[in-house]
A and B are shown apart, each in its own frame.
Chain A
Amino acid sequence: MIEFVEVSKDFRNFLPPRTTHALEGLTVTIERGEVFGIAGPNGAGKTTMLALALGFLEPTRGTVRIDGERPRRHVEKAGVAYVSELVSIPNWWTVTGALMRYSVLAGVEQRDRARMVHEAIERLGLEEHRSKRIKQLSKGNLQRLGITQALLSDSDLVVLDEPTHGLDPLWTQRFRDIVTDLRREDRAIVIASHNLDELERLADRVAILDRGSLQRIAGTHHAVSGEILRYRLVLAGEHDSVEAVFPGAQRIDNARQVTYDVSGDIEDLNARLARFLAEGGRVQAFFPAQSRLEVAFREAVGEE
């Protein structure tokens, strides 16, 4: 659906003369039906990539196309459900007033407008703030309003730039549910985030950018046979057979509970877990010691 081909974006400053290479030779295709993540440190080019996809910027070199069209043309024709990192809405508007305005611009028919705005307000828990002015909203509520206005349209392209910025843990979780609900065969969802855990939970693939270059595209699929991964095993009490059942298991000394790091492929580890339980061991938790995306990210941006 969205195609970046050899895209570079330079920002030129005249006084003093300086050129910043925000993106360099980016080639990637984002398909309908997928949730595509963009990760990277500050200044990696995530927001620039999204601005190019929305047609707010033009590439210095290369091409960006949405369904074969220039992004601006596509957006003016079909619209995009877009949430920006920092939500900027005129501060004299009220919450309901802002949503009514955006719904008009999104092309919502007058007969449906009040209902859709009401439902969106309820969905994002803004009922008690509906008549407040924008300047009276907290950062988290403003972010929720930003998400709400994006949900007013039934766009086949959803672009979310740091969408959980400023949200509390409860609303971060609810936001994940919303993204899950938004998944559709004919829709592409693009999420740029610093939060690798969030991307790992939501995205099918994640592009890792660093200093304007695409380092790699990491899959976030489930562990497969033959793939050696490190897991953390937390026991409900001491047990003698741990090291015999899980060769190479390393005890985490300063953990509050009896905890080991174990490695292996998922089939092998399941078999060993079954044996351990059969021998009377009691497992409290078993989970990846490191997210796979986190490992890929560290490798890509060159951190130890």
Chain B
Amino acid sequence: MTATLPRYFPRQLRDMLLTRGAAMLVIAVVFTLPILMVALRISPNGAIPQGGAAALLDTSLRGTSTFLVMVATYGIIGDDVRRGYFRFLFAKPISPVLYYAQAFLAALIAFLAAQLIVVAVFALVVEPAWPERWVLERTAFFLSFGSVIFALSRVLSIDWLIGLLFFVVGQGVRDWYPVSESLRGKVFNVVFPPSHLMESGLFPVEGIEWGHVAWVVGYAAMCLAIGLSLVRFMPFGTQR
């Protein structure tokens, strides 16, 4: 008998889709349709101008991303601890750290699947479109925001809310304390999620700023490392 955590991954993905898929589907459809209806109504003759479809779809994808990340990642670690599922899981010969790293990957796949539904809805209601490098852009967004919720999940039951506040406050703080003007600005710039790097796209066709990509990936890696360290070193306890 060998410990085969990777073989468990399809079941983690299935659980993710079974428990959160319905909510993600609703968000993908309900949040996308109004954007499209308004856009079609204000467009001349009710048709999207030439070349505008991809931009509109990109707006829809961005508009649903925040909620989809929250649904995909809330309680990703903490639920197992609070509900006591950890006791049978981690009496088995597996590493909890790897288990939750896999869970985060499952959440990313579920998130991208939900974004694909937005693309499908757009194709049905407007016209088929495929914004440049949207998978990379949305993956980067998931990493920068989802990793914050992941880091908080072991210690907070309202990880999604605190994660959202952290994300939103970070955007405001960057405006109030510009990075070039004070040490405080520089510190905040590093501490808060790099959402500002994604406003105009992290992977533009005209040339990728690899320093920005490294920042986003590094920030996500740091948050994931914090979350996984809490899994590794914080006792699960005896919760029922």
Contacts and interface: CB of A to CB of B under 8 A. Distances in A.
Q: Which of under 10, 10 to 19, 20 to 34, or 35 or more describes the interface residues of A?
A: 35 or more
Contacts of B2: 107, 109
Contacts of B92: 79, 102, 105-107, 153
Contact of B11 (A56, A84, A104, A154): A104
B93 A107 contact: yes
Contact of B87 (A56, A58, A105): A56
A154 B90 CA distance: 16
B7 A88 contact: no
Interface in A106-124: 106-110
Contacts of B236: 56-57
A84 to B, nearest CB: 5
Interface in A62-116: 75-82, 84, 86-90, 92, 101-102, 104-110
A149 B237 CA distance: 21
Interface string A129-169: 00000000000000000100110011000010000000000
A54 interface: yes
Contacts of B95: 76
Interface residues of B, number: 30
B1 A154 contact: yes
Contact of B90 (A75, A81, A146): A75
B42 to A, nearest CB: 43
Contact of B93 (A54, A57, A78): A78
B238 A48 contact: yes
A88 B3 contact: no
B15 interface: yes
A82 B240 contact: no
A47 interface: yes
Contacts of B86: 56
Contacts of A179: none
B205 interface: no
B1 A82 contact: no
B38 interface: no
Given A56-B238, A86-B240, A109-B1, A80 B83 contact: no
Given A57-B237, A104-B7, A76 B85 contact: no
B235 A90 contact: no
B93 A77 contact: yes
10 tightest A-B contacts by CB? Answer: A88-B84, A79-B93, A82-B91, A105-B92, A107-B1, A56-B236, A107-B3, A51-B238, A57-B235, A80-B91
19 contacts: A51-B237, A82-B87, A82-B91, A88-B87, A88-B240, A89-B88, A92-B19, A101-B8, A101-B11, A104-B8, A105-B8, A105-B94, A106-B93, A107-B1, A107-B2, A107-B92, A109-B1, A146-B88, A150-B91
